[in-house]
Structure 1
Amino acid sequence: MKPANGHLPRRKLLQGLGCLSAGLAATGAAPVADVTENVRPPDVTTNPPRQWGPGAPPSYTPDPDVVIIDRSFRDLLFSAATIHRVWDQGTWLEGPAWSSEGRYLLFSDTVTSRQYRYLWETGEVTVFRPESYHSNGNTFDYQGRQISCEHFLRRVIRWEHDGSVRVIADHYEGRPLNSPNDVVVHPDGGIWFTDPGYGDGFTEGHADEPGGEANPDGKIRWRLGEELIGEIGGNKRQADHTFRVDPSGRIEAVLTQAQLPNPNGLCFSPDHKSLYAISSGRQPGGNGHDGDQAIHVFDIQKDNTLANPRLFTNMRFQGVQMGPDGMKADIFGNLWCGAGGPLGLCGVFVFNPEGHLIGRIRLPHGVSNLTFGGPKRNWLFMCAGESLYRLQVNTQGVAPA
């Protein structure tokens, strides 16, 4: 049900059941062998829908669900590549991150509170951590250490090389964090992360204690689950912030709730002189404030403050407000953004450095987050609902080597 404020709830917005074609109407007829330039084969948006997974028939090339809007997008593609569903046994997948040292893709299932890894050599997906405290965003720093955002414990942590865990941040100005969401690392050793309230609920974390914004009337039994873990994160949320933690451990707010409400995905430009940040929709306990569901960009000053705020893209497409979530930049400065929205529009949106939409990747679910992986960083991995997808591309992602 659409709420009175006119915004789709985040999960409903991101979870599309399929994508309706703006082109070919579904006929249900079997494709013929001699497909010409003017006849598009069935794709994920048709009825019957495109088949995925083991046993599915081979995909057409070029893939009809990799949509070229500007010819510059063609240069970023490997024409013989097709989208593949790698795995579909999750619940709500988030935070994909590539480990160069381990040669695996790490990703979170925020609902089941597990972390998984996709092994490059075998293509197998295995449980990496059976309890991740409802982790969401993940990344690897320039020393190959894993950094994760934990919703249940409302903190950002780093796994050291000896297997120990270091808490990077769990409080700001004496108050607990909300639910750290996305995290990126800078070559100077700084760790940047967003702290909205999407984990302030029992689906992906735990609600506030009675009287908190995510549990104002106290009906939610917010301590349930504590007995299984032995501890619980902060119990009353504060305002949204985007934070930076310097190498000494000092935490500072680089963006306030007023400057960027409901902060979500983060990404640096290839030269690390600009920060892209997503302002997403209303969240649990949001106290009525809404983000604009757009991507904003800021200049990073020498003292790590942000200046010259401007709109990168409003994420409106064909008259529809899309819901951006996670994003990554490639080496040419293009921004690849996962988005949810109405049937037929969900998937990945690709923008050039000037903010112009140059291409799309259509998927049967909204994309929560994505990253570039593989030994050459030329495979795009996309988390979409319960599934993980991949596509080989003709560019490389920007990330620690």
Structure 2
Amino acid sequence: MFGVLEGTGFEVIDKEFEACFIGHARVERLWTGARWSEGPAWFAAGRYLVWSDIPNNRLLRWDDTDGSVSVFRQPSNNTNGNTIDRQGRLVSCEHLTRRVTRTNHDGSITVLADSWLGKRLNSPNDVVVKSDGSIWFTDPSYGIMMDYEGERAESEIDGCHVYRIDPDTREVSAVATDFVKPNGLAFSPDETKLFVSDTGATHDPDGPAHLRSFSVSTDGKSMTGGDVFASCTNGVFDGFRPDREGRIWSSAADGVHCLNSNGELIGKVHTPEIVGNVCFGGTKLNRLFAAGTSSLYAVYLNVNGL
């Protein structure tokens, strides 16, 4: 059943959250039928959203003009995270081929990164583009741990890192090498900070389930710090996006968690399924899209995305 869902909605944990939502707005299920949804990315020019159905090896497309859903690409090489670059092109993390790619305006695909220091990447997971054109991505081992979301293989790197692709030379450099399972990532509105989640708890009960905050260097090529910014209270922080005021809206086991600029949990948007990733979209970027396990959800907010 599509439309407004009973038992969903907003949970206020701190009064600050009350200004973030519209009282009568409710969570809508826009579509269902996936095995594991991930990586939503909003195309403003076409008013549509592309997201991944990783185990079904396809990218899906939801059209805002008529609500229809179609297959954007299949096979998709078990694509996970997606984003849009400054020229409006799709940038994707492919598990099966262990690479980061760009889909050009003519439909051709350019490989942006598939190795580091001559060794194959593990399985790129999530990706963001900085205003200088550099591309930052995470590379945990989820896609090579089993055949469900990629292809089982041994890691050539023997580690799970965060990387940067130089916009001019396409050189791939490791910017953080002390993660268990680096996952979602996003810049602060002013790009002085990069937030990265570590979801090591998915395969180790004592592993991390938190978000870390790094300070980006003035030249935009490296980062320092990495203190824990927030710990997830239900599941793990997988994918997330900031709003214009610096709050972070992150996926979790019970929906979407909203963190203020100090990393404090101020509220939740409850969904019936685990959420894998989110993005802002709509003509005013005031609609939060959430990729749930089998479904695509959306809710209008009183905040705007970047």
TM-score, with structure 1 as normaliser: 0.72
In the alignment, the residues of structure 2 paired with residue 291 and residue 152 of structure 1 have an alpha-carbon distance, to the nearest angstrom, of 25
What is the aligned length? Answer: 303
Aligned to 2:173: 252
Query: C-alpha displacement at 1:144, in angstroms?
Result: 0.2
Q: Which residue of 2 aligns with 1:32?
A: none
| Residue of structure 2 in register with 1:143 after alignment | 87
Show the counterpart of 2:148.
203
The answer on 1:375 being equivalent to 2:296 is no
| Displacement after TM superposition at 1:268 (Å) | 0.7
Report the secondary structure of 1:137's partner residue.
strand
* Residue 218 of structure 2 is aligned to residue 302 of structure 1: yes
- Report the equivalent of 1:93: 37
- Residue matched to 2:250: 337
Contact 1:261 1:289 in 2 (8 A): no
Q: Deviation above 4 Å: which 4+ runs of structure 1? A: 288-291
- Name the structure 2 match of 1:103: 47
TM-score, length-normalised on structure 2?
Answer: 0.94
Residue 228 of structure 1: aligned partner: none
Tell me which of 242, 245, 254 is aligned to 2:162. 242
Matches within 5 A, 1:2-401: 52-53=1-2, 65-200=9-144, 201-208=146-153, 212=154, 236=156, 238-248=158-168, 249-256=170-177, 259-281=178-200, 291-303=207-219, 304-316=221-233, 322-340=235-253, 346-398=254-306
RMSD: 1.8
Tell me, in whole angstroms, the C-alpha distance in 1 between the residues paired with 2:118 and 2:5: 54
- Structure 1: gaps (5+ residues): 1-51, 214-235, 341-345
| Distance of 1:122 and 1:160 partners within structure 2 | 25
Question: Do 2:201 and 2:208's aligned partners in 1 also have CA atoms closer than 8 Å?
Answer: no
| Aligned 8 A contact 1:142 1:187 in 2 | yes
Deviation at 1:356, TM superposition (A): 1.1
Post-superposition offset of 1:252:
0.3
Q: Give the deviation of 1:369 after TM superposition.
A: 0.3
Letter in 1 for 2:238: D
Would the alpha carbon gap of residues 84 and 283 (structure 1) be closer, same or farther in structure 2, given more than 3 Å must change?
Answer: closer
Q: Give 1:237 deviation, angstroms.
A: 5.4
CA contact (8 A) 1:197 1:237 kept: no
Whole-angstrom distance in 2 between the partners of 1:142 and 1:348? 27
For residues 340-380 of structure 1, the C-alpha deviation after alignment (integer angstroms, 9 at most, x for no partner) is 2xxxxx11110100111111011111110011111111100
Q: C-alpha distance in 2, partners of 1:289/1:238?
A: 21
Inter-partner Cα distance in structure 1 for 2:23 and 2:201 = 39
Cα gap change, 1:188 to 1:174, in 2 (>3 Å) = same
Q: Gaps (5+ residues) in structure 2?
A: none
| DSSP-derived class of the 1:324 partner | coil
Partner letter of residue 301 of structure 1?
A: S
Do the aligned partners of residues 59 and 325 (structure 1) sit closer, same or farther apart at CA in structure 2, a change above 3 Å counting? closer
Q: For the residues of structure 2 that align with 1:291 and 1:106, how far apart are their CA atoms?
A: 31
Alpha-carbon spacing, 1:59–1:327, altered in 2? closer, same or farther (3 Å): closer
Letter in 1 for 2:251: G
Q: Distance in 2 between the 1:352 and 1:90 partners?
A: 31
Aligned AA for 2:222? T
Shift of 1:64: 5.8
Q: Deviations over 1:113-138 (max 9, x none)?
A: 00011101101111111211100000
Q: CA deviation at 1:85?
A: 0.6
Structure 1: distance between partners of 2:242 and 2:86: 17
How far apart are 1:324 and its partner, in Å? 1.3
Displacement of 1:75 in angstroms is 1.0
Cα displacement (A) at 1:89:
1.1
Structure 2 Cα separation of the partners of residues 309 and 87 of structure 1: 37
C-alpha change, 1:289 and 1:358, in structure 2 (3 Å) is closer
d(CA) in 1 for partners of 2:90 and 2:206?
31
